[in-house]
Amino acid sequence: MGKVDGKEAVIACMDFRFMGGSMGVVTGEKIALAMDEGLKRKAPVIVVSCSGGARMQEGILSLMQMAKTSASRKRLKDNGIPYISILTDPTTGGCAASFSMLGDINMAEPKALIGFAGPRVIEQSIRQTLPEGFQRSEFLLEHGFIDRIVERKEMKKELSFFIDMFSK
């Protein structure tokens, strides 16, 4: 539990410095618990994603976290609890394919790489060159996949605005 400009919110943040921010069983559990806490306290939930994807060393259990976190997110939605997702560079793989893109508001930092598979993997599989900036936050905003691009130094102000908006 934390505060943004004096307003309560549950905040969870991933750390790319630890195993590339990959989502394993513990990470999935912590994200789900943060959402459960928001539900219990009737407080907005903010998740800052920075991930290379699912933790493949954990096999299918890591992939199950996609369903677990998405189900937790649905409980928030069903109960009218706001969920704000912040996407940083990179937000890819299982996180991008689950809770990271399911916010009521999806904000990204400038030039963040966001997507399920990386551009190189996609180009190799479809045997085509991707458009310039494909999977960068600017491209995703232009195509309606995210709601806002926000510099980190402006993030607090934006979060405060949306928490106020949802509370009305």
One CATH from 3.40.50.10310, 3.40.50.300, 3.90.226.10, 3.30.160.20 for 2-167: 3.90.226.10
Tens of pLDDT, residues 63-83: 999 999 999 999 999 999 999
124-145 average pLDDT score: 94
Would you say 7 and 45 are in contact if contact means Cβ atoms under 8 Å apart?
no
The model scores a pTM over 0.75: yes
CA 165 – CA 12 distance, rounded (Å): 21
pLDDT at 108: 99
Task: Say if residues 10 and 46 touch (Cβ distance below 8 Å).
Answer: yes
